[in-house]
Amino acid sequence: MESVTLLAVSKNFGPEAVRAAHAAGQRAFGENYVQEGLAKIAALADLRAGLEWHLIGPLQSNKTRAVAEAFDWVHTVDRPKIAQRLAEQRPPHLPPLQVCLQVNVSGEASKSGVAPAEAPALARAVAALPRARLVLRGLMSIPEPVEGFEAQRRPHRVLRELLAALAAEGLVLDTLSRGMSADLEAAIAEGATIVRVGTAIFGARG
Ligand SMILES: *Cc1c(COP(=O)(O)O)cnc(C)c1O
């Protein structure tokens, strides 16, 4: 079985909560909002080498430079333009930015993410960018909340099958970022490699 990375989603919690989780051994943290994430990264600069920062919320093109300069991962690439800008703006002295494509598996109009049918073309475009600056690692989704293990597995299975289809085209990716506090078990059963957990670690966001 593949190992599963626990991404602690620290949105709405202050730097002190991240510091406490780091002291308890947690290394990877997820932020939804660019400004909030940047402020926390700055406030925790003394721990920077021991932390991995993941952007898991929407990214507009006017914020790509700040993200390319400060984060380690971006899970929410859904257009070639965003990936191009991140690659161009990633400072050469940093390791390549690790990215996932956000896929809209539930087909909800309000959610961001590329449609599953358009994901292969986007993946090819992103994988063609300079790997010294940006590396395509896999796929991410935020499924519509549903009750019940089997119903929760279905959208996760769509993403796993998409990853397999990309592998069949020669694009071998190793990351599936799915699963939040409410559907962790279903996500892991369908091969999640990163689970994004907020509430179950830090408590309710109030
Ligand atoms: C808030 C959030 C999470 C964590 O959600 P919880 O229900 O608190 O575990 C995971 N992924 C994304 C994209 C989020 O916005």
Cβ of 11 below 6 Å from ligand 1? yes
* Residue 161 pLDDT level (bands cut at 50, 70, 90): very high
The predicted structure's pLDDT at residue 107: 74
Residue 11 CA: which ligand 1 atom is closest?
A: 1
Q: Is 180 in the pocket of ligand 1 (CB under 6 A)?
A: yes
Give percent of the chain with pLDDT exceeding 90.
88
Q: Which tens digits make up the pLDDT trace of 97-115?
A: 999 999 998 877 667 899 9
Q: Rounded to 5 degrees, what are φ and ψ at 201?
A: -100, -50
pLDDT digits (tens, 9 = 90+) for 185-205: 999 999 999 999 999 999 988
Q: Cβ(133)–Cβ(164) under 8 Å?
A: no
Coil, helix or strand at residue 134 = strand
Mean pLDDT over 134-152 rounds to 94
Residue 77 in contact with ligand 1 by CB distance below 6 A: no
Intra-chain end-to-end CA distance of the chain, in Å: 36
How far apart are the CA of 142 and the centre of ligand 1, in A?
Answer: 8
Q: Please work out whether the CB of residue 181 comes within 6 Å of at least one atom of ligand 1.
A: yes
Topology classification of domain 5-202: TIM Barrel (3.20.20)
State if residue 192 touches ligand 1 by the CB under 6 angstroms criterion.
Answer: no
pLDDT at residue 143 above 60? yes
Q: What is the mean pLDDT of the chain?
A: 95
- Tell whether the model's pLDDT for residue 2 goes beyond 80: no
Task: State the Cα–Cα distance between residues 12 and 144, nearest whole angstrom.
Answer: 21
78-104: pLDDT as tens digits:
999 999 999 999 999 999 999 999 999
Distance, CA of 31 to CA of 57 (rounded, Å): 7
Average pLDDT over residues 110-126: 93
Q: Atom 6 of ligand 1 has which residue's CA nearest to it?
A: 198
Q: Where are the domains of the chain?
A: 5-202
Q: Averaged over 10-31, what is the pLDDT?
A: 97
Mutate-to-test residue for ligand 1 from 9, 110, 181, highest number of ligand atoms within 8 A of CB: 9
Q: What is the pLDDT of residues 58-75, one digit of tens each?
A: 999 999 999 999 999 999
Q: Which ligand 1 atom minimizes the distance to the CA of 76?
A: 13
Nearest-CA residue for ligand 1 atom 7 is 181
Using the atom order of ligand 1, give the atom closest to the CA of residue 32. 15
pTM to 2 decimals?
0.96
* Helix/strand/coil percent split, the chain, to 5: 40, 20, 40
**Looking at residues 121-150, what average pLDDT do you find?**
96
Helix/strand/coil for 54: strand
Rounded CA separation 35/41 (Å): 10
For residue 112, the model assigns a pLDDT of 87
- pLDDT band at residue 57 under the 50/70/90 scheme: very high
Residue 201 CB less than 6 A away from ligand 1: no
